[in-house]
Amino acid sequence: MEGKHGKTQVMALALVTAMCVLGDSVLYVALPLYWREAGLDALWQVGVLLSVNRLVRVPLGPLIGKWYERTGGRSGLAIAVFLAFVTTASYGFQGFWLWLLMCCLWGAAWTFLRLGAYSLIVSVSDDGNRGHFMGLYNGLFRLGSLVGMLAGPLLVAWVGLRTTSFLLAGVSLVAFVLVFAFIPASFTGQSGDASAAAVRPQLCWTGSVALTMASGMFVAMCYQGILVSTLSRLIDLRQPFAVIGGMVVGSAVVAGVVQGARWVWEPWAAPWFGRWSDRCGRRRMLVGAVLAAAVLFGLTAVPLPFALWLGVLLGIQLTGTVLTTVMDTLAADEASRQANGAQLLTCYSVVTDLGAAAGPLLAFWADGWFGLNGLYAGTAAFLLAMAAAWSGRAGQAHAAGENKPEKTR
């Protein structure tokens, strides 16, 4: 019954997050088209607004992590919902500086949601179901991104940006009901597994923790940074126009389909991969997914038929689902064995935000020097090195008698 109760809490928090991300998801599709309606003066302001929330999450992460260490509960999630309501409603008003402030506040709201979710999942899970719970959360909250990206632009075109913002802000208010109905007043970033570990007042930087942090940052850099920022250009260089269903579409549309496909399958695929990692072992699954990703990134430079080449891009997106789920769960595993798990989760959140923010900068710098083929080949090489590092770590765990499939060490 405890596992079912924990699953209910995780699902409720995933739906809370989905309601809160609606407004932010709409911006990525609607703002580049309706920027004048938002009171902006130039397109460069759109780029600043869409990126600033990630930048502010880096310094805010440790501060909000301290909040959870001291309060450890529902209050942080209530703040997140309130900030999501305020920021989404404010998108109905005009002015660059107002929007800049609101996008920064959204960065704070997302950090409250993310760290709260990590802490709750660690507190209600064990090694036998943590992957499933993490995949369930990641998959369900993506429904908000999917609905925002599909329905948001239609609403903006129909009723305008201001009315759309107010409607979506109203939806985010419903999240308050779920927070107070299903989320416990207090929870910590630590599970019962930590009682078996040595009690340490500070984060213990073992080799496994360091490898998890570095891998989490690199995965975020690859998928949230490099891939997202270069996919449309990569497709445009390969084939500016394509015929789909008898219609000629541009590279931007094809890129949107490839990006959106992940949000379609993730609500069911992420929980499935998470449950699989609980059963077969997370390190084994991670190494297999990283090797597959390395091969697929390398194949983007191969002159394959266009349909098969698009299949390679979809394969990369699928490995992104696997790696994000497994890496988040590995971080939660490490947190469950720390006396101060919230501190580790905060650190993991910060390094992944750094990776996501650094990805586009690295991508466009490398594109200027080596081209996109060189960039993706280099990404494949680093993925192979990551697989080798985790294979070596798994070998050490086996030698120590620690590699139990159901309890990832």
> Would you mind telling me the total number of residues written for the chain in this entry?
409
| Residue burial 361-394, b: 16+ Cβ < 10 Å; e: rest | ebbeebbeeeebeebbeebbeebbebbebbeebb
Q: How confident is the model at residue 400 (pLDDT cuts 50, 70, 90)?
A: very low
Q: Is the pLDDT of residue 398 over 70?
A: no
* pLDDT (tens digit per residue) in 299-314: 999 989 988 999 999 9
Q: Which uninterrupted H or E stretch holds 250?
A: strand 247-250
Q: What integer is the mean pLDDT of 5-13?
A: 91
Lowest mean pLDDT among 117-121, 291-295, 390-394, 405-409: 405-409
Check if the beta carbon of residue 72 is closer than 8 Å to that of residue 186: yes
- 16-37 CB burial, b ≥16 within 10 A, e <16: bbbbbbbbbbbbbbbbeebbee
Give the per-residue pLDDT at 394.
Answer: 57
Domain ranges of the chain: 2-189, 207-399
Confidence (pLDDT) at 403: 42
Residue 408 has pLDDT above 50, yes or no: no
Question: In this model, does residue 351 exceed pLDDT 50?
Answer: yes
Extract the tokens encoding 399.
């030698």
Q: Between the ranges 218-232, 258-272, 371-385, where is the mean pLDDT highest?
A: 371-385
pLDDT > 90 fraction of the chain, expressed in percent and rounded:
44
Please name the fold of domain 2-189. Answer: Growth Hormone; Chain: A; (1.20.1250)
Q: Are 249 and 241 in contact (CB under 8 A)?
A: yes
Residue 22 has pLDDT above 50, yes or no: yes
pLDDT single digits (tens) 107-125: 999 999 999 999 899 889 8
Note the pLDDT tens digit of each residue in 365-382.
Answer: 888 888 889 999 999 999
- Overall average pLDDT of the 27-50 stretch: 79
Is 207's pLDDT higher than 90? Answer: no
Q: Give the whole-angstrom CA distance, residue 304 versus residue 190.
A: 48
Over residues 137-194, the pLDDT tens digits come to 999 998 888 888 778 777 887 888 889 999 999 999 999 999 999 998 887 655 554 4
Q: Give yes or no on whether 2-189 and 207-399 have one common fold.
A: yes
Predicted TM-score (pTM) above 0.85: no
Q: What value does the mean pLDDT of the chain take?
A: 85
pLDDT (0 to 100) of residue 195: 44
CATH class of 207-399: mainly alpha
Q: Locate tokens 């999501």: which residue?
A: 84
Q: What is the pLDDT of residue 409?
A: 38
